[in-house]
Amino acid sequence: MSAPVFFITPPFTQLNTPYPATAYLKGFLNTKNIPSFQADLGIEVTLAIFCKEGLTHLFSVIPDKEWSENGCRIIALQQEYINTIDAVILFLQGKNSTLSHLIGNRNFLPEASRFAQLDDLKWAFGSMGIQDKAKHLATMYLEDLSDLITECVDVHFGFSRYAEKLGRSANSFDELYAELQKDYTYIDELLIEILRNKMDAINPSLVAISVPFPGNLYTSLRCGQFIKKQYPGVKVAMGGGFANTELRSLSDARVFEMYDFITLDDGEAPVENLLLYLDGKIAIDKLKRTFTLVNGQVTYINNAACSDYKQGQVGTPDYSDLLLDKYISAIEVINPMHSLWSDGRWNKLTMAHGCYWGKCTFCDISLDYIKLYEPIAAQLLCDRMETIIAQTGQNGFHFVDEAAPPALMRALAIEIIKRKLTVSWWTNIRFEKSFTRDLCLLLKASGCIAVSGGLEVASDRLLALIQKGITVAQVAKVNKHFSEAGIMVHAYLMYGFPTQTAQETIDSLEMVRQLFEAGILQSAFWHQFTMTAHSPVGLEPEKYKVKKMSEVTGSFANNDIEHTDPTGADHPAFSFGLKKSLLNYMHGACFDYPLQKWFEFKVPRTSVPPDYIVQALEQQEPTTAKPGAKITWLGTRPRVVHFTKSKKGNHWPMTELIFQNKKETVSIKVNELQGDWLAAMLEKLSVHNNDVYTLQQVKENYEVNNLEDFELFWDNKPVNSLYRFGLLQL
């Protein structure tokens, strides 16, 4: 194919970093020598609005009529916004850091209603510094302008979502279709102008639009509608997370007035087959997981003989063409993990396709993107990391796994350390017992800064019903290991799971309170349970004692299912209290408040003992490693000093090993033979050596040297305190 493929992410996803789908597919096409370009139209539209020229135009098109008090205030201060916008955007792009002092003084930016909602900034940012405080204030300034746009020129506008209400659970295409027949909105016009310039410059044969979320759907339809009308020779395909979950039972032919094809799940094989079909090399029945119109009917074609590519074959994500130095870091929500999501440029990678657990009953585990688990070798992952660092100049990585496998995380950490890569990375995990103290220390040494995982309902009965495979006590121990290693822990919390009672909701809150009070949870967020069509709960609701509100399958989007929970509590009533209490707990406040204080209605007293988490943490963990445990030394070579110890006329030779790390110096003293053996053994155990030693092999080596009582030497001080310097049992 001579004409290139054009990959688009339509507005709006994240402002701080590109969504990775197009980079993944561009990397794959590179392996096939197929030319492609990509664009994140979300950041490009954002920058077109939020600049001096853009705001000047925005204010000029606002009709002269009665607006809200807030709208009138912003319009009256329009010159202040026009004069400050370029400097603020540069600051949020990391190019004007000294502006933080002006912003932080609260006399530089014009302030409207968003600033009235600010938390106590000293309370919120006292330990975070002036840069973060200024980013939060600058974000509120942009949110004020967003409110103005929504009120005065485009009701659909939102920074990380656009017309999301139209896209979320749109069982019928009617509302969206009616909206698409209207004249362009203000944002539509900006989007289409940018798209037109791209189309003319690239002259593609195929435009592939990635729609990860409902908030991208409307703009993707506008893009497809424009291309099909103005460039009738160009084919338009849509794929991404929204299609994968919502459009699996699509039957409305009107959708294909905007797209020619819609593909599901992993995009590599479907895109390749689509290109072969458009080139006339295969027949239409050879398409892979693709919806299209055949004789005016929506038809799903899936060539079962065509297999998907293994993760080792899909190539390295390619971020070229994207405006990597133009993304802006915002801090909208004062939450440590949310600031990671929205602050800073993260390269996105995946350790493993699918989920290695694949049992949670609220999750879409029947779909291939979760069901089909395939890890990537640690060496290949590191190769990809090095390639991306060289391309982007950024060494931060967000591994976007369903749940990163502990064994692969361990292998990746060792490979990073071996290659002496300087990286920061974070990922999503299951809170399982494999995350021992020593594994967490290894992950920290490799650059891991945070993990997020699903604690969900924080109730052992409901965790068993979810088939989460964890208990609250186990989560507490794992969180302690991460926290003591210096890795931030974020928990996804859920309320409203089928049959969850008011008592269980309050008990879950008490568990969360104790986790924060113990200092082993730093960040969390409550979500209300949503029943989805492809989850075990959605597939068998009667098994979980809930009822679907409707059995009718829509002709467009079908994923979120409205349901009733006859035996459960009034779940929405708890929302505000759960979130308000959590905000305080994250700031180390109000642990002594009775739980009733967070709710305006009567709630049951918690049945959880006030020291439940403390007791769980104090339970003795096994200290003796299994014989097959791998022993690794991350530290530097110790300095070895021989000396003679004397006592009551007796003399015996001793060895002192002096260890240095970045913060401290420590020494241990043992008899000479043991000391010399340990120094030599640490050389062999070094992470930079290719040989791997198990605990059993270390013991055998010790005994071969005619040294006695290995367990007494290895499992007691001073040797077992060397984990702080890098002697790990994995």
Q: Report residue 358's pLDDT band, with 50, 70 and 90 as the boundaries.
A: confident
pLDDT of 484? 95
Q: Report residue 695's pLDDT band, with 50, 70 and 90 as the boundaries.
A: very high
Q: How far apart are the C-alpha atoms of 218 and 166, rounded to whole Å?
A: 7
Cβ neighbours of residue 337 closer than 8 Å, sequence gap 6 or more: 450, 452, 488, 490, 522, 523, 525
Question: Angle between the 502-517 and 575-586 helix axes, to the nearest 10 degrees?
Answer: 10
CATH number of 5-42+162-301: 3.40.50.280
CATH fold of 346-618: pyruvate-formate lyase- activating enzyme (3.80.30)
Q: Tell me: the pLDDT tens digits for 56-109?
A: 999 999 999 999 999 999 999 999 999 999 999 999 999 988 999 999 888 999
Its pTM stands at: 0.88
Segments making up each domain of the chain, as ranges? 5-42+162-301, 48-152, 346-618, 630-729
Contact by Cβ (8 Å): 137, 104: yes
pLDDT of 535? 86
Q: Tell me: the pLDDT tens digits for 600-620?
A: 999 999 999 999 999 999 987
Query: Residue 244, exposed/middle/buried by CB under 10 A (0-12, 13-18, 19+)?
Result: buried
Two tokens at 349? 């990678």
Contact by Cβ (8 Å): 172, 554: yes
Indicate if the pLDDT at residue 531 is higher than 70: yes
Indicate if the pLDDT at residue 123 is higher than 60: no
Q: Report residue 127's pLDDT band, with 50, 70 and 90 as the boundaries.
A: very low
Q: How far apart are the C-alpha atoms of 275 and 260, rounded to whole Å?
A: 13
What ranges make up the beta strands (E) of 88-211? 206-210
Indicate if the pLDDT at residue 341 is higher than 80: no
Residue whose structure tokens are 């294909």: 256
Residue type, 513: R
pLDDT of 67? 95
Q: Tell me: the pLDDT tens digits for 282-308?
A: 999 999 999 999 999 999 999 989 999
pLDDT of 334? 63
pLDDT of 509? 96
The answer to which of 124-128, 491-495, 536-540 has the lowest mean pLDDT is 124-128
Indicate if the pLDDT at residue 622 is higher than 70: no
pLDDT of 401? 86
The answer to which of 130-139, 274-283, 548-557 has the lowest mean pLDDT is 548-557
Indicate if the pLDDT at residue 355 is higher than 80: yes
Do the domains spanning 5-42+162-301 and 346-618 agree at the CATH topology level? no
